[in-house]
Amino acid sequence: MHDATLRAPAASAVHEPVVKAEGLSRHFDVSAPWLNRVIERSPRLILKAVEDVSFAIDKGKTFSLVGESGCGKSTVARVIVGLYPPTRGRVYFEGTDLQSTHGRAEASRMRHRMQMIFQDPFASLNPRWRVRDIIAEPIRAFGLLDGKEETERRVDELLELVGLAASDGAQYPHEFSGGQRQRISIARALASQPDFLICDEPTSALDVSVQAQILNLMKELQREFGLTYLFISHNLAVVYHVSDTVGVMYLGRLVETGPAKEVFSRPQHPYTRMLLDAIPDLDMTGRERTPVAGEIGNPINPPSGCAFHPRCPFAADRCRTEIPRPITRAGGHRIACHGIEENRIPDAVPPYQPGAGSVA
């Protein structure tokens, strides 16, 4: 159904991650205007949205970032895709440093291979354009196909690929439901034949039954085209379902990364344990949940040392002063926590056993 040029399998046997972020930071200046600062003698305010984040995603795999609102997960997505330049750190795409791609041609060659799917399918589609023009835009912008007919054929193909009818291309976005609009967003993202998709809360605005349709579609497309995903969500169950590896973020930093099954069945960092414990239990095992104390700190003025220490039941003096460096455990499981490093945190009672507890 698709021509061979759509996706030539990578011949290289070299194990090179598709995307790699190294020490990525992004700060925002949120100070009052200069005059106010002078009059009120207020200092500059720097919001450290993302601080020293590193990860790598292998080809055909899904890496998810999970965390509560304001933890910086969407900012990471925007830095990776190039919507914000990083304050510090580097982003590599197939080994090429994206910051060093000078010149339009080179940059655009890179850019069309990464695409983004946004949360709100009502805001991310131009309401004045017909669906077929929305989907054709990346093809035209990157000059991927010549000729009107060829472009039209490709758009029809894309529409059918995401489960819509070719005739739907003549409609406007408002004529579609939320789920269908998200399908249009996916078709648009696939139009430039990307290798890497960044999905920022792609199903958060959708009802559960529609969410299931979109998640299934995304998995199917990944299998078919060997796509690599960076998936961003606050919903841990969705993250568990789609991910190969996950990264848990708290106030701009990655506190724990590792294979999804490992992180979810043997969570190490106290924050990860807390998050997992907070999810309502659909299996109704009557598992007693420990109440979660406190709320997420202020990112403009984060707590000293480990940002999680005010909410952490295991916090010690060192946690209040020193920022923990990530330590690596077996299987690439990385945790940034003094308590884990010093072995003074008891093993968690695993709330979830992979494979166990299937619904009757």
Partner 1 sequence: MDAELSNRPVLQVQGLRVEFPTRRGVLTAVDDVSFEIMPGEVLGLVGESGAGKSLTGTAIFGLLEPPGRVASGTIVLGGDRIDNLPHDRMRRIRGKKIGAVFQDPLTSLNPLYTIGRQLIETITTHMDMTLAEARQHSIELLAEVGIPAPERRIDQYPHQFSGGMRQRVVIALALCTNPRLVVADEPTTALDVSIQAQIIRVLKRLCRDHKTAVLLITHDMGVIAETCDRVAVMYAGRIAEIGPVREVIKNAKHPYTHGLMGSIPNIGHDIDELTQIHGSMPRLTEIPPGCAFNPRCPHAFDRCFVERPDLAQEDKSQVACWLFDKETADA
Query: Interface with partner 1 by CB under 8 A: which residues?
Result: 68-69, 177, 179-180, 207-213, 215-216, 219, 234-238, 240-241, 264-265, 274-284, 289, 291-292, 295-296, 352-360
* Cα–Cα distance, 99 to 82 (Å, whole number): 9
Give me the least distance between CB of 42 and partner 1, in Å please: 19
3 state SS of 263: helix
Nearer of residues 21 and 274 to partner 1, judged by Cβ: 274
Nearer of residues 110 and 210 to partner 1, judged by Cβ: 210
Give me the least distance between CB of 256 and partner 1, in Å please: 15
Give me the least distance between CB of 196 and partner 1, in Å please: 22
Cβ atoms of residues 254 and 76 within 8 Å: no
Which residues pair with residue 22 across a beta bridge?
Answer: 90
Nearer of residues 139 and 184 to partner 1, judged by Cβ: 184
Give me the least distance between CB of 233 and partner 1, in Å please: 10
3 state SS of 266: coil
Give me the least distance between CB of 114 and partner 1, in Å please: 26
Produce one character per residue of 176-214: b if its CB has 16 or more CB atoms within 10 Å, e if not: bebbbbbbbbbbbbbbbbbbbbbbbbbbebbeeebbebb
Nearer of residues 17 and 258 to partner 1, judged by Cβ: 258
Nearer of residues 186 and 296 to partner 1, judged by Cβ: 296
Closest CA to 84 of 122, 112, 116: 116
Give me the least distance between CB of 179 and partner 1, in Å please: 6
Nearer of residues 118 and 352 to partner 1, judged by Cβ: 352
3 state SS of 67: coil
Contacts 24+ apart (CB under 8 A), 217-226: 217/162, 217/163, 217/183, 217/186, 218/186, 218/242, 221/161, 221/162, 221/186, 221/190, 222/60, 222/62, 225/6, 225/7, 225/190, 226/7, 226/9, 226/10, 226/59, 226/60, 226/195
Nearer of residues 239 and 337 to partner 1, judged by Cβ: 239
Give me the least distance between CB of 273 and partner 1, in Å please: 11
